[in-house]
Amino acid sequence: MSRPDGILFSEEDPRFVIDGSTIPGAGVGLFAKEPLAAGVRLEVIGALILADSPSDVCTTYANRHKFRVGEYLLVPLGYGGLVNYSDSPNMKKVIEGRRVYLEALRPIDPGEELFFVYDNGPPVVEG
């Protein structure tokens, strides 16, 4: 099996900024840098892998952040992986084919942190 030379993932979007999360212990989060209208989308970029494959096993560190896309899992490698969990989300997950988006549920103000509900429930805080 040949090995690819590598895939470069890079994301720049002037609508968003990374900063310290408003959730204690969550680390960083993703924030709106400008007003976002309801329905605005952020495409979640990353690596699409087969569930229960060696690639899935090798990326267990990212299990809380993986997005289920049918029989696949999307390991986020950009802004989408920084959107934290909340019981009161302002974003929702939308799947179209093999693409994943986070879509604003309502207007979002500049400086407001972005949140959605994880498929696998809230993160477990260890400590």
Set out the domains of the chain in order of their start, with CATH numbers. Answer: 38-116 (2.170.270.10)
What confidence score (pLDDT) does residue 124 get?
Answer: 47
DSSP 90: S
Do the Cβ atoms of 91 and 24 come closer than 8 Å? no
pLDDT per position as a tens digit, 65-118: 888 898 999 999 899 999 999 999 999 999 999 999 999 999 999 999 999 998
Asked whether residue 121 carries a pLDDT value surpassing 70, the answer given is no
Strand ranges, E, within the chain: 16-20, 28-32, 41-44, 46-50, 67-69, 72-76, 84-85, 91-96, 99-104, 115-116
Asked whether residue 8 carries a pLDDT value surpassing 90, the answer given is no
